[in-house]
Every structure is written in structure tokens, then in C-alpha cells.
């Protein structure tokens, strides 16, 4: 299990793996302020919807690392700018809402407030880790030994609290001897699939084949793929799913070849306040991610660039949504609502 960050209680600093340097270098940052944590989230040093939420929660705690004049004001300010770093993934506002509720319920004494916030951040991390273990087990319920499974972007341990979402069943299959094989989309323009997913699956001992995004239809036509599994950054109440750009086109070619398309995500990723994918705000990122990827110019100066970081896959293209409560089937508006009710009633 590879976790993306740890909180050092003695020094009150966050030790965070810089994902932008993978796979060539494993470098751990020491983060001491909410401002530096916000920069790490914005610059994708930590990425993956669950990991972003966890990192931001610990970032709030860092607002009280040293004595301050107005503890609650500092916490409120940290929550505000951390929440604004990445607009699409629902785990971030979910985590910030929890930290805000804890802060509002605490007395003004700084260290008591910090302890309460730290306990909440650890609870968010612990709940995600438990959900990841269950996602892996439920994911294997829809897989058969020896299957070849295509995945997109990165959804492993360092995108979460250590177990992952869409990668969880692949890694668990290794432990259980099911022998699932992975095909990994490169995931342009930032290559999270080739840089991070292939790296993490290799560490886990999963047989892995890397392809570019544009090869997916071809390898399906050749019969090399048995199923597709992806993660999610936000799921609307009807099952429409926002995920890394390229997921929608992958879902279309998966349907064209008659293969199952699975989404694996904890229920904290479901935004029940958003009725459909039309209400999901899509983050747009800088043009130089496309024109000067990894420091090398790959496009002419002055060219217009459109660089959305995510797209939305309509629910009718999704075979099932794998959650920590089990495998949910269409109609998702009903199955997601039922899962929400199960959580509410304990």
C-alpha cells in the first residue's frame, strides 16, 4: 500500500509525495502551511480526488501549526482558499465542509481547535482507506480470473489514502492470485497513466501494458480488452460521471465494442446536490500543459488551446458503479439514492 502523504505529529508538518516527479524520482515534500498545501494541490503535486480532499483537510490543520491571534479566522481563511484550488472534484468541498463544521463547534482555544481539526482530518483519511479496501473487494465481484482490464488516468494508492479506487481490484487480484492483467492509457496531456499508474502497478506486481489514449479502440477491436474500469472526480445524482479528460471517449468506444464500463468510487464522490452532469463545473487548465508539456515545445507559438481537465460520461454508458457499499446498477438515480439512505440510517 502506497499512501500519498503522512502527518507528522511531533513537528506538525505534512510529508507529501511530489507526484509531478514520478516515475523518475520519488521526492517527499515537507509542507508547513496551508498556502504551500494549496500550491501543491493546484500544481498537481498531489492529485486524485480523495487524496486532494485529505491533503486539504491536513492543510487546514497547518493553519494552527504556530500561535496565531485569531485561530478561527485563520482556519476560515485556509478553508476558503484551499477549497478554491480545484473546482471539479467533489471530495475537496466535502472535506472542507467537514472541517468547517468542526471549527464552528470548537471553543476559541487554539490548541484544542487544532486537535479537533486533526482528529477530523484523520477520520477523513481513515474512512477513505476503509472504502478503498471495500472497493477492491467489490470490484473483483465483476471480474473473472485472467481478465485484461483497461484503465484511464491514475486511481491508485497515491490518488487516495493508500488503496485506490479503480486500481484497487487490480492490486487486490494480485494478492488473491486472480491474475488480472492491466492495460493503461497514457492519459494526455499530463501522462498520469504512464507516469504514475504504470509505476504503481509495477510496484504491486501487476502485469501491465501501456498504450496511448488513441489506441483504445484498436486494442478492443483486437480482442485484447475484457473490461474497462475508471475512477471519478464527481458523480451526479443520476450517475453522470466527471473524470479525467478522455474518459467519455473511452466509454463510447467501450460501448461500441460491447464491453462493460465500470466506475469505481467511494460514495463521498457522489454529489447528490447536482442532478446531472450538466451541472458539473469543468476545470480548464493552462495552455502550456498542451503546448509545452514537460518543458518541451510541441506546438507553434500563438496557437489557440482548449484544455479542459475533465469530461462527463453520461450514465447510460456506465455498466455499474462500484462503491464501498457494493456494486450499484442502473437506474443509478435509484441505486445511488438507496445507497445514500443506507448511509444515513447506519
Task: Say how far apart CA 101 and CA 112 lie, in whole Å.
Answer: 15
φ and ψ at 258, to 5 degrees? 70, 30
At residue 217, φ and ψ (nearest 5 deg) are: -60, -40
Query: One of 233, 240, 271, 311 is an active-site residue; which one?
Result: 233
Q: Is 18 a catalytic residue?
A: no
Q: What is the set of active-site residues?
A: 233
Amino acid at each position: 500500500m502506497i499512501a500519498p502523504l503522512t502527518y507528522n505529529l511531533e513537528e506538525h508538518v505534512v510529508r507529501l509525495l511530489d507526484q509531478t516527479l514520478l516515475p523518475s524520482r520519488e521526492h517527499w515534500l515537507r509542507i508547513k502551511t496551508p498556502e504551500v498545501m494549496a500550491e501543491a494541490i493546484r500544481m498537481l503535486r498531489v492529485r486524485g480526488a480523495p487524496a486532494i480532499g485529505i491533503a486539504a483537510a491536513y492543510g487546514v490543520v497547518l493553519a494552527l501549526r504556530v500561535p496565531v491571534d485569531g485561530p478561527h479566522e485563520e482556519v476560515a481563511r485556509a478553508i476558503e482558499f484551499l477549497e478554491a484550488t480545484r473546482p471539479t472534484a467533489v471530495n475537496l468541498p466535502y472535506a472542507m465542509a467537514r472541517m468547517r463544521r468542526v471549527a464552528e463547534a470548537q471553543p476559541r482555544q487554539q490548541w484544542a481547535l487544532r486537535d479537533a481539526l486533526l482528529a477530523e482530518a484523520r477520520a477523513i483519511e481513515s474512512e477513505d482507506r476503509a472504502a478503498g479496501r471495500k472497493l477492491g473487494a467489490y470490484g473483483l465481484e465483476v471480474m473473472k480470473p485472467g481478465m485484461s482490464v483497461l484503465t484511464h488516468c491514475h486511481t491508485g494508492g497515491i490518488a487516495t489514502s493508500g488503496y485506490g479506487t479503480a486500481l484497487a481490484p487490480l492490486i487486490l487480484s494480485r494478492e488473491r492470485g486472480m491474475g488480472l492483467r492491466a492495460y493503461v492509457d497514457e492519459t494526455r496531456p499530463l501522462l498520469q497513466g504512464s507516469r504514475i499508474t504504470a509505476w504503481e502497478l509495477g510496484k504491486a506486481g501487476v502485469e501491465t501494458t501501456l498504450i496511448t489514449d488513441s489506441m483504445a479502440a484498436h486494442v478492443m477491436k483486437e480482442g485484447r480488452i475484457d473490461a474497462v474500469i475508471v475512477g471519478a472526480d464527481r458523480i451526479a445524482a443520476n450517475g453522470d460521471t466527471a473524470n479525467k479528460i478522455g474518459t467519455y471517449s473511452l466509454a463510447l468506444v467501450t460501448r461500441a465494442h460491447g464491453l462493460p464500463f465500470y466506475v469505481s468510487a467511494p460514495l463521498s464522490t457522489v454529489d447528490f446536490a447536482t442532478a446531472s452532469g450538466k451541472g458539473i463545473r469543468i476545470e480548464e487548465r493552462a495552455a502550456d500543459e498542451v503546448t509545452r508539456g514537460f518543458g518541451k515545445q510541441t506546438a507553434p507559438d500563438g496557437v489557440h488551446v482548449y484544455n479542459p481537465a475533465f469530461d462527463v460520461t453520461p450514465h447510460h454508458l456506465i455498466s455499474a458503479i462500484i462503491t464501498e457499499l457494493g456494486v450499484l446498477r442502473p437506474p443509478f438515480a435509484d441505486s445511488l439514492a438507496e445507497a445514500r439512505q443506507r448511509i444515513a440510517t447506519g
